[in-house]
């Protein structure tokens, strides 16, 4: 179950609205949605939460690039909304790298087998399973590796009353705690 809401800062405090993400397919769509809710190009926060799994906060300040924080990147990869937030830039990848690799794999069959032929090759990667590979920087999965924890701009709410350390500690009911720190708990509750 997902919950998504916008919090727009105004002269009188925060205004909250729930939001429908059905038409949002990219981060650009989400950013445009936030800018439409902005009053005088002031700060807008977009909250997305998948109950019990992860939450994300997107901060849009006027025409600046959005700032993103995701509480659990690996959980978010299994969500269509999470994938919107996990941009190549946020993951530290070259833009389009995933598409390029998928195209190359399809083109040259990097698994070493012909189409339809089973892969009977021995797995030499696990021959040294007793060795500690925790410091192995030569992981071939680097392009697909997504951290199992927080990812993004941990300071995006610091100037609004929620320090980095507190944001990193949030797990469940995070959006309620964030809204409380911002002084917006009551307005968020009206759309929850």
pLDDT for residue 62: 92
Q: What integer is the mean pLDDT of 145-162?
A: 92
3-state DSSP of the chain: CEEEEEEEEECCEEEEEECCCCCCCCHHHHHHHHHHHCCCCCEEEEEEEECCCEEEEEEEECCCCCEEEECCHHHHCCCHHHHHHCCHHHHCCCCCHHHHHHHHHHHHCCCCCCCCCCCCCCCHHHCCCCCCCCCCCCCHHHHCCCCCCCEECCCCCHHHCCCHHHHHHCCCCHHHHHHHHHCCHHHHHHHC
Task: Report the sign of the C-alpha dihedral through residues 45, 93, 138, 110, in that order.
Answer: positive
Q: What integer is the mean pLDDT of 151-166?
A: 95
pLDDT for residue 88: 86
Give whichever of 43-47, 49-53, 128-132, 171-175 has the largest mean pLDDT: 43-47
User: With bands split at pLDDT 50, 70 and 90, how would you rate the model's confidence at 19?
Assistant: confident
Residues 87, 189: Cα–Cα separation, whole Å: 29
pLDDT for residue 97: 53
CB 21 within 8 A of CB 152: no
Q: What integer is the mean pLDDT of 52-60?
A: 94
User: With bands split at pLDDT 50, 70 and 90, how would you rate the model's confidence at 22?
Assistant: confident
pLDDT tens, position by position, 83-128: 999 988 888 887 765 554 454 455 555 555 545 555 555 554 555 4
pLDDT for residue 43: 95
pLDDT at residue 48 tops 90: yes
CA contacts within 13 A on the Cβ side of 96: 3
């Amino acid at each position: 179950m997902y919950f998504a809401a916008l919090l727009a800062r105004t002269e009188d405090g925060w205004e909250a609205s729930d939001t429908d993400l059905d038409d949002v397919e990219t981060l650009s769509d989400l950013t445009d949605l936030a800018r439409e809710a902005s009053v005088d190009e002031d700060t807008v926060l977009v909250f997305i939460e998948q109950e019990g799994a992860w939450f994300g906060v997107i901060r849009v300040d006027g025409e600046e690039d959005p700032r993103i924080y995701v509480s659990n990147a690996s959980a978010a990869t299994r969500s269509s909304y999470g994938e919107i937030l996990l941009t190549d830039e946020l993951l530290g990848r070259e833009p389009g790298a995933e598409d390029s690799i998928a195209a190359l794999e399809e083109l040259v069959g990097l698994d070493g087998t012909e189409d339809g032929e089973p892969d009977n090759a021995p797995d030499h990667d696990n021959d040294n399973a007793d060795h500690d590979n925790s410091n192995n920087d030569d992981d071939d999965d680097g392009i697909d590796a997504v951290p199992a924890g927080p990812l993004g701009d941990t300071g995006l709410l610091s100037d609004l009353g929620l320090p980095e350390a507190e944001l990193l500690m949030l797990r469940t009911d995070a959006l309620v705690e964030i809204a409380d720190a911002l002084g917006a708990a009551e307005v968020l509750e009206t759309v929850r």
